[in-house]
Structure 1
Amino acid sequence: MDYSAKLEPLEQLAIPCAVLGVYQKRKLTPSAQRLDERFDGLLSRLLKRDDFEGKPGEVFSIPHLPGEGIERVILVGLGRKEELKPGTYRKALTAAAKALKECNAKQAASLLHEAELEGRDTGWNIRQFVELLEAAFYRFTQLKSDDENHKPRLTKLVFPVDDETALAAAKKAIDQGRAIAYGMNLTKDLANLPGNVCTPTYLAEQAEKLGKRHKHKLRVKVLEEKELEELGMAAFLSVSKGSAQPAKLIVMEYGGAPSKTPPYVLIGKGLTFDAGGISIKSAANMDEMKFDMSGGASVIGTLAAVAELDLPLNVVGLIPASENLPSGTANKPGDIVKSMAGITIEILNTDAEGRLLLCDALAYAKRYEPAAVIDVATLTGACIVALGRHPSGLWSNDEALAQAVVQAGEESFDRVWRMPLWDEYQESLKSNFADVANIGGPDGGSITAAAFLSRFAKEFPWAHLDIAGTAWTTGKDKGATGRPVPLLVQYLLDRVP
C-alpha cells in the first residue's frame, strides 16, 4: 500500500473515495462539514433520510456523488465526541478499513485523523489507521493455490492535512505505522505456517534472510546444538531431545548506536511445535501449538521494524528455537537438567518447556551487559484464565522498566497488565532433588512461571511478557495477531535519545 500525506485544500480534493468521520447524532466532523458545503449540503440531507446515527463503527457509504473530483464517500461513526477514547477510535478505524477493503476504489483519502482524542495527536491517529488497514488487508496465502480473487483493489491512501507541522507529523506516523505493520505481517507469516514447514531450521533461515536485507546494521548468527552444549545450555537442549529437528539459538544483533552503548535485549520463545512431550497435551486444538513460537516470531518482526526505521539504538534478539515432542529420547517427568546459569532443574512436567528455553537464553543475555531484557513467550494457559485475551501479562523485577512497558502498551494500544512477582511464589518451586522445579502447584501458574524465570534474571532489569492470550485468535478467524510487535517497537521508540 502506498501511503502519503499532502497539504491539499478539501475544496480541491480530487480522489475516487473519501473517508470522513461523523459523531453520534449525525454531527459531521469539520472536514466532513467542509465537503458537505462543497456538495451543497448533500451529505447532511442523505444522513437525515437514513438510520445512520454515527455510533462507533457504523458505516454509511454514498457510492455516487454529483460533479467531478470525489466519486464516493464513506462516512464512519465515531460515537459521542466527548466520549471518544482510543478503543472507540480504533473500532471506527477497523470499520473504515473493512469498508475500504470491500469497495472498488483504487485510491482513497482519509480524514479520520482529525478526530480529537485526549492525549493523542494527529500522528498517533494516522499511525493507528496505517496499522489497522494493513491488518485488515493481511491474508495468509503462502500455502493457498489461488488468492487472486481476494486481493483488494485499494493501492493508495492519502491523508490530507492543513499545515506544515501536521504534514511532518503525518509523514513520521506513516513511516512508523508502515514499519510496525511490516514487522507484524512478518510475525504473522511465520506464526501461521504449520510446524512441518516452520521448523527451528526454517525460522533461523528467515532470520538470516532478514539479516541480509539489512546487512548494513543487522547481524544474524545461528548457534547449533554442539555450540549450545559447549555453552552449558542443557535445559534448552533437553527440550529438543524428543524431536528429529535440531535446536537452534538465533542471535540477531542490530547496531544503530555506538558499539559500547548497552543494548536492549529481546528474547522470544521459539517453540515451532509443542505437543507437550511425554506430558502430552490433549488432541483438541493441538494444531494451534504451531503458534507456540509466536514470541520468537514477534522478536524477529520487531527487529525487522527497528531496521526499517533505522533506530539509533543497539538491540539484540535472542530466539531459542526447538520442538517439544514425545519419543524414547524425550525428557521424562523427574529428569534433572543443569542450566547455563548452573542452576539444576527438576522437570516435573515436560509441557512446561518454554521456561527451559528461556532460562538459558536469559543466562546468555548477560554477556551483553544489557540496558534491559524483555522476554516474550506464549508461556502459560493460566495467563489466559487470569487475564483473558485482551492484555498480555507483565512481570518485572524493575519498577522503571515495568512502567516503561506499561506506558508503551498504552501508547501503542497493545496493552499489558502487571502481575505480582512476590517472593512467596518461589515456595511452590522448591524441589527435594534439584535447585528448583520447573512447575509450582496448581494455583497461579502464570505467576510461578514468571517466578521461575526471575531466578535467571537477577543481574539486569528484566520484564516478562506472557502472550498466550494475545498472540493468536482461535475459532473461525484463527490466526496470528502479530502482537506484541507494536508494544515492543513503541518501547524502543521511547528509548531513542
Structure 2
Amino acid sequence: MELVVKSVTAESLKTATLVIAVGEGRKLGTVAQKIDDVSGGALTAVLKRGDLSGKAGQTLLLHSVPNLKAERVLLVGTGKDTELGDRPWRKLAAGVLNVLKGLGGSDAVLALEELTVKNRAAYGKARLLAETLLDGEYVFDQFKSTKAEPRALKKITLLTDKLNSADVERAVAHAKAIANGMRFTRDLGNMPPNLCHPSYLAEEAKALGKANKNLKVEIHDEKKLKELGMGAFLAVAQGSEQPPRLIVMNYQGGKKSEKPFVLVGKGITFDTGGISIKPAAGMDEMKYDMCGAASVFGTLRAVLDLQLPINLVCILACAENMPSGNATRPGDIVSTMSGQTVEILNTDAEGRLVLCDALTYAERFKPQAVIDIATLTGACVVALGGHTSGLMGNNDALIEQLLSAGKLADDRAWQLPLFDEYQEQLDSPFADIANIGGPKGGSITAGCFLSRFAKQYDWAHLDIAGTAWLSGGKDKGATGRPVPLLTQYLLDRANA
C-alpha cells in the first residue's frame, strides 16, 4: 500500500473515501465543520439522527455527501479526550484501516491532522499513524492453498498543513522502512521450522548481501565454530541434524574510522528443550525462538532502506535444539570462546549458550555498544506479560538510550536489575558458571549469565520472550517487535 502526504484542503480532493474525526458529544472539529459547511449541513443532519455519538472507536460511513469530490465520507469517533494517548491513537488508525479494507475504493484520504496525541509533535504522531496502517496490511498466507483476496485499497493520503509537511514526510519515510523491517521479521518468525533452519537464515543473509553493496556477509560453519572455540554454541547444536551457523552481516554506512554498533540475535530455529524436553502443548510455537535473530534481520533491513550514516554489525547465532543420542546432557560441562567453563544444568536454557559465544565474538569489532536480542526466558513473560520487553545492561547511558527509543517508537522496554546477589545464583561447584540460577528471578539470572561475557564493552540485553509473538489460537504469530525500538535507537545515534 502506498502512503503519500499532501498539504491541501480536505474538501478539494477527489477520493473514494474521506476520513474525518468527530468528538464525543457529536463535536465537529475544524475539518469536519468545514465539510459540514460545504455540504450544507449534511454532517449535522446525520449526527442529529443519533447514528454516531463520537465515542472512541465508532465509525459511520456516508455516501454521496453533497458538494464534495469524495465518493464517501467516513466519520470516526475520537472520544471525549482532547488529547489521545499512543494506544487510543493506534486503535483509531487500526479501526479506520479495517473499515477501509472492506470497501471497494482504491484510495482514501485521512484528514486527521488536527487531532493531538500526548507528548507527540507532527513527526511522532504521523509516524505512529503510518506504522499502524502499514503493519495492518500484513498477511502471511504463502502456505495456504487459498490466498487472501486482493484488496481494492492501494493508496492512503495523509493530509497535513504546509508548516509540518517536511516532518510528516520524514515520518512516513521512517515508518515505511520500519514496517518493511517488521514484515521481514514477521515472515521469518512465521516460517515453519522444517524450512526455516540455520542454513535457510544463512541464505537469507547472503541474498541481503548481494542486494546491498555496502553490506558484507560472512557465514561461519561448524568447522569455523570449532576453530573459534565456541564450545557452548556447538553444544546446543549437537543434538540436531541441522548444522549451526554464525551469521555476520557488516553494514558500512559511516566513516571507516567510526566504531560500529553491534546487534546480536538469538536464532534457535526450533527449541524442543533438548534432553530437558518441553511439554508437547504449545511446542509448535517454539519455531519463534529465532525471533531475536529475525528482529536483527528486520532492523538491518530498515537501516538499509534508510541508508543510515552509521556502521552496524549484526551477529546471528543460529542453531536447532533437539534431543538425540548425540544431544548435550544435563551435567555436561563445556568451554566457551571466552575460556570460561559452563555446567549445563538444563538443556532448555540454550539461548544463553549460543549468545555467550556470540557476545565474545563481538569483541573483535571494538564496538561502540552491543545489544543482544533474544526470546530468552518464560520468566520475563511472567514478569512483564506480552506488552513490554525486559531490559538489562552494564551501562546506564545505553540503558537510558534504549528506554527512550522504546518510548518514542511505542515499543517499550523496562529495566530489570543485575545485582551481585543474583550473580551468586549461578555459582557451580564443578565449573566457572552454571547455565541456570534456579527458579527465582529467571530472566535476571539469564541476564547475569550473559553479562559475564560482555565485560569488554557497553552492553544491553533485550528479553523479547513476551513481545516477539502472540501466543495461541488462530491469531498466533510473530509481531515484528522490537524492530521499531532498535531502529529508533539507531536513528537517534545517526542524528546524535
TM-score per shorter chain, which class? Answer: over 0.9
Q: Decide which of 459, 468, 475 is 2:465's aligned counterpart.
A: 468
Structure-2 residue corresponding to 1:192? 190
- SS of match in other structure, 1:312: coil
Farther off after superposition, 190-199 or 84-93: 84-93
TM-score by length of 2: 0.97
Output the CA distance in 1 between the equivalents of 2:127 and 2:139: 20
Structure-2 residue corresponding to 1:418? 415
Structure-2 residue corresponding to 1:478? 476
Give 1:467 deviation, angstroms: 0.6
Output the CA distance in 2 between the equivalents of 1:403 and 1:147: 44
Farther off after superposition, 20-29 or 173-182: 20-29
Output the CA distance in 2 between the equivalents of 1:44 and 1:419: 52
Question: Is contact 1:137–1:152 with CA below 8 Å preserved after alignment?
Answer: no
Give 1:66 deviation, angstroms: 3.2
Structure-1 residue corresponding to 2:209? 211
Unaligned stretches of 5+ in structure 2?
none
Output the CA distance in 2 between the equivalents of 1:271 and 1:51: 52
Residue 116, structure 1, aligned to residue 113, structure 2: no
Percent identity of paired positions between Structure 1 and Structure 2: 52
Output the CA distance in 2 between the equivalents of 1:377 and 1:452: 13
Farther off after superposition, 68-77 or 281-290: 68-77
Structure-2 residue corresponding to 1:90? 90
Question: Is contact 2:218–2:247 with CA below 8 Å preserved after alignment?
Answer: yes
Offset from partner CA, 1:201-257 (integer Å, 9 cap, x none) = 111111211222222x22221111111111111111111100000000111111110
Offset from partner CA, 1:297-336 (integer Å, 9 cap, x none) = 0000000000000100111111100000000011100001
- SS of match in other structure, 1:494: helix
- SS of match in other structure, 2:82: helix
Give 1:345 deviation, angstroms: 0.3
Residue 40, structure 1, aligned to residue 37, structure 2: no
Which residues of 2 match residues 147-226 of structure 1 at below 5 A? 147-149=147-149, 151-163=150-162, 165-215=163-213, 217-226=214-223
- SS of match in other structure, 1:137: coil
Q: Decide which of 325, 336, 349 is 1:352's aligned counterpart.
A: 349
Structure-2 residue corresponding to 1:300? 297
Amino acid at match of 2:141: T
Question: Is contact 1:114–1:122 with CA below 8 Å preserved after alignment?
Answer: no
Structure-1 residue corresponding to 2:226? 229
Q: Decide which of 426, 439, 444 is 1:442's aligned counterpart.
A: 439
Give 1:53 deviation, angstroms: 2.6
Output the CA distance in 1 between the equivalents of 2:386 and 2:48: 39
Question: Is contact 2:215–2:250 with CA below 8 Å preserved after alignment?
Answer: yes
Question: Is contact 2:20–2:112 with CA below 8 Å preserved after alignment?
Answer: yes
Give 1:67 deviation, angstroms: 4.3
Amino acid at match of 2:380: C
Give 1:83 deviation, angstroms: 4.6
Question: Is contact 2:141–2:148 with CA below 8 Å preserved after alignment?
Answer: no
Output the CA distance in 2 between the equivalents of 1:379 and 1:268: 11
Question: Is contact 1:56–1:89 with CA below 8 Å preserved after alignment?
Answer: no
- SS of match in other structure, 2:494: coil
Output the CA distance in 1 between the equivalents of 2:17 and 2:456: 56
Which residues of 2 match residues 242-261 of structure 1 at below 5 A? 242-261=239-258
Structure-1 residue corresponding to 2:388? 391
The Cα RMSD (Å) is 1.3
Output the CA distance in 2 between the equivalents of 1:40 and 1:123: 34
Give 1:51 deviation, angstroms: 4.6
Residue 402, structure 1, aligned to residue 399, structure 2: yes
Residue 326, structure 1, aligned to residue 323, structure 2: yes
Amino acid at match of 1:158: T
Cα pair distance change 1:273/1:424, threshold 3 Å: same
Question: Is contact 1:58–1:92 with CA below 8 Å preserved after alignment?
Answer: no
Farther off after superposition, 394-403 or 62-71: 62-71
Output the CA distance in 2 between the equivalents of 1:27 and 1:262: 54
- SS of match in other structure, 2:74: strand
TM-score by length of 1: 0.97
Q: Decide which of 358, 381, 390 is 2:378's aligned counterpart.
A: 381
Question: Is contact 1:268–1:318 with CA below 8 Å preserved after alignment?
Answer: yes
Output the CA distance in 1 between the equivalents of 2:396 and 2:72: 51
Offset from partner CA, 1:379-402 (integer Å, 9 cap, x none) = 000101111111011111111111
Offset from partner CA, 1:90-135 (integer Å, 9 cap, x none) = 1111111211222221001112243112321222222212211122
Output the CA distance in 1 between the equivalents of 2:468 and 2:148: 28
Structure-2 residue corresponding to 1:490? 488
Give 1:148 deviation, angstroms: 4.6
Output the CA distance in 2 between the equivalents of 1:387 and 1:139: 28
- SS of match in other structure, 2:339: coil
Offset from partner CA, 1:453-493 (integer Å, 9 cap, x none) = 11111121111111110111123211110000000000111
Farther off after superposition, 92-101 or 319-328: 92-101
Output the CA distance in 1 between the equivalents of 2:23 and 2:398: 38
- SS of match in other structure, 1:187: helix
Question: Is contact 1:94–1:132 with CA below 8 Å preserved after alignment?
Answer: yes
Farther off after superposition, 56-65 or 106-115: 56-65
Structure-1 residue corresponding to 2:278? 281
Structure-1 residue corresponding to 2:13? 13
Output the CA distance in 2 between the equivalents of 1:51 and 1:448: 56
Structure-1 residue corresponding to 2:105? 105
Amino acid at match of 2:142: Q
Output the CA distance in 2 between the equivalents of 1:411 and 1:363: 31
Amino acid at match of 1:160: L
Question: Is contact 2:51–2:60 with CA below 8 Å preserved after alignment?
Answer: no
